[in-house]
Amino acid sequence: MGKLSHLEPKAIWEIFEQICNIPHPSKNEARIVNFVKQFGENLGLETIVDDVGNVIIRKPATSGYENRKGIILQGHLDMVPQKNSDKNHNFETDPIEPIIVENKVKANGTTLGADNGIGVAAALAVLQAKDINHGPIEALFTVDEETGMTGAFNLKPGLLKGEILINLDSEDEGEIYVGCAGGLDANIVYNYQKEKSNDQHVAFKISLIGLKGGHSGMDINSGRANANKLMNRFLKYATRKFHIRLSFIDGGSLRNAIPRESFVIVTLPSELEHDFTAAIKEFEKIFKSEYGLVEPDLKFFAEKVTKPEWVIDRVTQENLIHAIYGCPNGVIRMSDAMPGLVETSNNLASIKMNDQTIQVNCLLRSSVDSAKKDLSEAIHSVFVLSGAKVEFSGGYPGWKPNMNSPILQVAQQVYKQKFGKTPEIKAIHAGLECGLFAGVYPNLDMISFGPTIRYPHSPDEEVHIATVQKFWDFLVEVLKNAPLNN
Task: Write the pLDDT tens digit of every residue in 352-408.
Answer: 999 999 999 999 999 998 999 999 999 999 999 999 999 999 888 889 889 999 999
The answer on 407 and 310 residing in a single domain is: no
Does the structure show a pLDDT above 80 at 16? Answer: yes
Contacts with 451 (C-beta within 8 Å, 6 or more apart), sequence order: 114, 118, 171, 173, 463, 464, 467, 468, 470, 471
The answer on 312 and 322 residing in a single domain is: yes
Domain end point (choices 366, 396, 426): 396
Tell me the average pLDDT across 224-246: 98
Does the structure show a pLDDT above 70 at 433? Answer: yes
User: In the predicted model, what is the mean pLDDT of the chain?
Assistant: 96
For residue 272, give the DSSP letter.
Answer: G
- CA-closest candidate to residue 56, choices 123, 116, 148, 109: 123
Residue 56 lies in a domain: yes
The answer on 294 and 351 residing in a single domain is: yes
pLDDT at 431: 84
**Which domain range does residue 324 map to?**
184-396
Tell me the average pLDDT across 318-333: 98
Residue 92 has a CB neighbour count (10 Å cut-off) of 11
Residue 69 lies in a domain: yes
Q: Which of 211-220, 269-278, 470-479 shows the lowest per-residue confidence on average (mean pLDDT)?
A: 211-220
CATH code (residue 41): 3.40.630.10
> How distant is the alpha carbon of residue 254 from its chain centre?
8
The answer on 387 and 347 residing in a single domain is: yes
The answer on 217 and 317 residing in a single domain is: yes
The answer on 369 and 246 residing in a single domain is: yes
Q: Which residues are catalytic?
A: 78, 145
pLDDT at 338: 82
Angle at 178 between CA 216 and CA 422, to 5 degrees: 110
pLDDT at 389: 98
pLDDT at 84: 87
The answer on 196 and 310 residing in a single domain is: yes
Task: Write the pLDDT tens digit of every residue in 172-191.
Answer: 999 999 999 999 999 999 99
The answer on 95 and 42 residing in a single domain is: yes
- CA-closest candidate to residue 468, choices 133, 112, 217: 112
pLDDT at 1: 46
Domain end point (choices 368, 396, 424): 396
Residue 20 lies in a domain: yes
Residue 29 lies in a domain: yes
Residue 486 lies in a domain: no
Distance CA 453, CA 175 (A): 12
Residue 16 lies in a domain: yes
Residue 433 one-letter amino acid: E
Q: Quickly state the pLDDT bin for 101 (edges 50, 70, 90).
A: very high
Does the structure show a pLDDT above 60 at 421? Answer: yes
The answer on 372 and 242 residing in a single domain is: yes
pLDDT at 225: 98
The answer on 276 and 250 residing in a single domain is: yes
**% of the chain beyond a pLDDT of 70:** 100
CATH code (residue 326): 3.30.70.360
The answer on 211 and 110 residing in a single domain is: no
Task: Write the pLDDT tens digit of every residue in 347-358.
Answer: 999 999 999 999
Residue 485 lies in a domain: no
The answer on 254 and 163 residing in a single domain is: no
Between 267 and 148, name the one with better pLDDT. 267
With H, G, I as helix, E, B as strand and everything else as coil, classify residue 466: helix
Q: Specify the number of domains making up the chain.
A: 2
Does the structure show a pLDDT above 50 at 288? Answer: yes
Residue 1 lies in a domain: no
User: What single string gives the DSSP state of each residue in 321-374?
Assistant: HHHHHHS--EEEEE-SSSTT-EEEEEEEEEEEE-SSEEEEEEEEEESSHHHHHH
Domain end point (choices 360, 376, 396): 396
